[in-house]
Amino acid sequence: MLYENIVLPWLTAHGRLYRDDECIHEIALGLIQRLEGMPGLMPLLKFVTETVSRAKPRTVFDLSFPTPIGLAAGLDKEGVGLPFWEAIGFGFAEIGTVTPRPQLGNPRPRLFRLDPEEMLINRMGFNSQGIGKVNENVAPLRSHVRMPIGLSLGKNKETPDDRAHEDYEAVLAEGVAMQPDFAVVNVSSPNTPGLRDLQKRSLIRDLLRHIVERRDSELSASDDLSWLPLLVKVAPDLSIQELDDLLDAGIEVGIDGIVIGNTTTSTAMFSQPVTGVYAETGGKSGGDWLFDRTLTLCMHTRRHAPRLSLIHVGGIDSADKAARALDVADLIEVLTGFVFKGPKLIRQIRRAC
């Protein structure tokens, strides 16, 4: 009630003042950082959260997750809110997507709220401070966070496809310093030109082989990490055949899991006419259509590649949807549903799942 009736309207009003919905995101992250700096507040918030909504832990790729609900990549790109995410009930958080070198991303405005539908359109374009700065952000927070942390790996816009593996390897190699618990190869954002081409059978095997080999090399040289599960994040717009090709390539080179999915380029999810803000280009997230599509792909993946660990993300905005997803997947991630419903959604899912 506090979030939906006071916090969200206040953030929205400020975003509308600046005529840029991305301002809402920036103001929220700034507020979270101030809250994290208040002595004793995060432990108190965590105590209250655990008192009103007991967690049900899960073990996935030999990691203990205090609850299977995670924060999807894209909300905390720079890793500044980790203690807060844990305190309000998340069981893990995925940082990023992070690129090796800083880049601005696409021109603003590039984030659009569809309030009646509780959906988002974004064309951020991997805006990132770069892995060096993200390491600096995470370093003072890491010892205060017990939940697993994932690192979403990306590539810079100007890097050609035939050298994409170099960027993913660079983020992975430098990201080892933050001691992530797992890493996710993001080849599925629709907002970086050519990125989704990397999902094709002709490219994905070699790309993942390079990254797996670099992961193994970094682990052998690290005193801090003994294992780092490697997952690949795919688009919900893949056909079943394209998904099978990617799964087979991933299994062949030795990945540990898959994240399904990302934003969609389809407008089939809209009940509104595709005009005005609904016609903005970019990835679309939230809603029943995306949930059903990603759940279908998860069910197929479970049958086709049962040994792979599976994370479902897409359209989860209720405890019922979370429970349905967790019947298939090992873990779930939320973003758009959390943007519109806030911490209440996490408490509801914790109670039900």
Q: How far apart are CA 293 and CA 284, in angstroms?
A: 13
Helix (H, G, I), strand (E, B) or coil at 309: strand
Q: Which residues touch 91 (CB under 8 Å, ≥6 apart)?
A: 55, 57, 58, 65, 66, 67, 68, 69, 70, 147, 148, 331
Q: Of residues 188, 189, 285, 309, which has the active-site annotation?
A: 189
Cβ density class 215-241: b for 16+ within 10 Å, e for less: beebeeeeeeeeebbbbbbbbbbbeee
Q: How far apart are CA 261 and CA 26, in angstroms?
A: 25
Residue recorded with tokens 């005009």? 275
Q: How far apart are CA 153 and CA 131, in angstroms?
A: 9
Q: Answer yes or no: 189 catalytic.
A: yes
User: How many whole angstroms from its chain centre is CA 26?
Assistant: 17
| Identity of the amino acid at 340 | F
Q: How far apart are CA 32 and CA 195, in angstroms?
A: 31
The pair of structure tokens assigned to 93 is: 């958080």
Eight-state DSSP code of residue 306 = T
Q: How far apart are CA 73 and CA 93, in angstroms?
A: 8
- Which active-site residues does the annotation give? 189
